[in-house]
Amino acid sequence: MDFSGNVRPLSMERIATESSSMSFINEAVEAIRKQVGDGKVLLALSGGVDSSVVAALLIKAIGKNLVCVHVNHGLLRKGEPEQVVQVFRHEMDANLIYVDAVDRFLDKLAGVSDPEQKRKIIGAEFIRVFEEEARKLDGIGFLAQGTIYPDILESDGVKAHHNVGGLPDDLKFKLVEPLKFLYKDEVRVVGKALGLPDNMVYRQPFPGPGLGVRCLGAITRDRLECVRESDAILREEFAANGLEGKVWQYFTIVPDFKSVGVRDGKRSFEYPVIIRAVNTKDAMTATVEDIPFNLLSHITDRILKEVKGVNRVCYDMTPKPVGTIEWE
Ligand code: XMP
């Protein structure tokens, strides 16, 4: 297999089955070994589908010569950093550097309410943390990226939300992009064949800035926890009720205002949680999922009981357009 150029080879068969994914994996492993030899490869491993599949493929090809860096910026969903460590360090025996950068990101974001400014800070800080880790390592010659074919088709070969594109010139490693000719569904089939867990391979899309754009306005730790905990309940209930994999994207949002309520016979002044669940093909337009009313009531009860600081739950009925999928 030849990963040069930016056009998917016509001879490349569609990867839909176990056997087609095995032949892709074998060819990709051979191509990676040929490209990097005994060299070391660095990878920013977020735990998203693309970076996880790249990691699994490179572990198969070059083992410990792959160095994965997982940056926990504090804006990941509940359980995600732990799962990255469990799957890659403990189960796949990967060379994984885990960076706890939670305070660093939240300190930088404190008081910043403009959504684009928040995105810029998260992206820039990510590059800085990754760069610092890269500088501590010796002998790295390559940078692996989870670029997939739609990234090439849609944005001239630059992974639109990939944060590691901005490394300084003296750290310009040679790129290893083994998924660059694959469509998303093919990436999932390959990930499954490489032994990654279903909840990693079939997960819903998750924005680069993570929960940061769902904790509206200036991010505070208490509201961020409200987003994380309510999102975990929503995901758990969708999974238990057969909606995982059926609904394209679902999450919760916590605005930066409080409303009045009553708790234990006293007036409460707490945050609302908004539930969003949408279906779409390409994220350009979206429809709202028709969730059974009793399931919505059950999720509401759980959020009100289990998430500290929340006294109201709403369901967002807005299609795209007029609303966007995210709130920021
Ligand atoms: P909107 O809100 O524009 O979202 O309707 C469309 C899709 O894009 C995702 N999204 C992002 N993904 N970085 C990302 O990587 C971002 O800053 C970002 N903003 C929105 C959103 O989750 C949805 O799937």
**What residue segments make up the domains of the chain, in order of their start?**
18-201, 214-315
Task: Give the Å distance between the CA of 76 and the centre of ligand 1.
Answer: 15
Q: What is the pLDDT of residue 161?
A: 46
For ligand 1, atom 12, name the residue with the nearest CA: 207
Report the chain's mean pLDDT, rounded to a whole number: 95
Enumerate residues lining ligand 1, CB below 6 A: 119, 161, 205, 207-209, 249, 283, 320, 324-326
Tell me the C-alpha distance between 252 and 214, whole Å: 7
What's the pLDDT band for 221 if we cut at 50, 70, 90? very high
* Nearest ligand 1 atom to alpha carbon 326: 2
Residue nearest to atom 7 of ligand 1 (CA): 283
pLDDT at residue 118 greater than cutoff 80: yes
CATH superfamily of 18-201: HUPs (3.40.50.620)
The torsion angles phi and psi of 219, rounded to 5 degrees, stand at: -75, 130
- Over residues 129-147, the mean pLDDT reads 97
pLDDT of residue 4: 83
CA of 60 to the centre of ligand 1 (A): 31
Q: For ligand 1, atom 14, which residue shows the shortest CA distance?
A: 207
pLDDT at 154: 85
pLDDT in tens, 142-162: 999 999 999 999 876 555 444
Phi, psi of 279 (to 5 degrees): -120, 145
Nearest residue (by CA) to ligand 1, atom 4, is 325
pTM of the model: 0.95
Does residue 163 surpass a pLDDT of 50?
A: no
State residue 158's pLDDT score.
54
pLDDT tens by residue, 30-77: 999 999 999 999 999 999 999 999 999 999 999 999 999 999 999 999
Q: Whose CA is nearest to atom 11 of ligand 1?
A: 207
Residue having the nearest C-alpha atom to atom 9 of ligand 1: 207
CATH code for the structural domain at 214-315: 3.30.300.10
CA of 53 to the centre of ligand 1 (A): 21
Torsion angles phi and psi, residue 38, rounded to 5: -90, 5
* pLDDT higher than threshold 50 for residue 6: yes
- Ligand 1 site-directed mutation target among 285, 326, 327, 328, most atoms within 8 Å of CB: 326
Write the pLDDT tens digit of every residue in 262-283.
Answer: 999 999 999 999 999 999 999 9
**Ligand 1 pocket check: which of 281, 325, 327, 328 to mutate, most ligand atoms within 8 Å of Cβ?**
325
Per-residue pLDDT band at 164 (split at 50, 70, 90):
very low
Is residue 328 pLDDT above 70, yes or no? yes
Specify the residue with its C-alpha closest to ligand 1, atom 19: 207
Q: What is the distance in A from the centroid of ligand 1 to the CA of 172?
A: 28
Counting from 1 in the atom list of ligand 1, the atom nearest the Cα of 249 is 24
Above pLDDT 90, what percent of the chain? Answer: 91
pLDDT at 165: 56
| 195-210 pLDDT tens trace | 999 999 999 999 999 9
Q: What is the pLDDT of residues 85-98, one digit of tens each?
A: 999 999 999 999 99
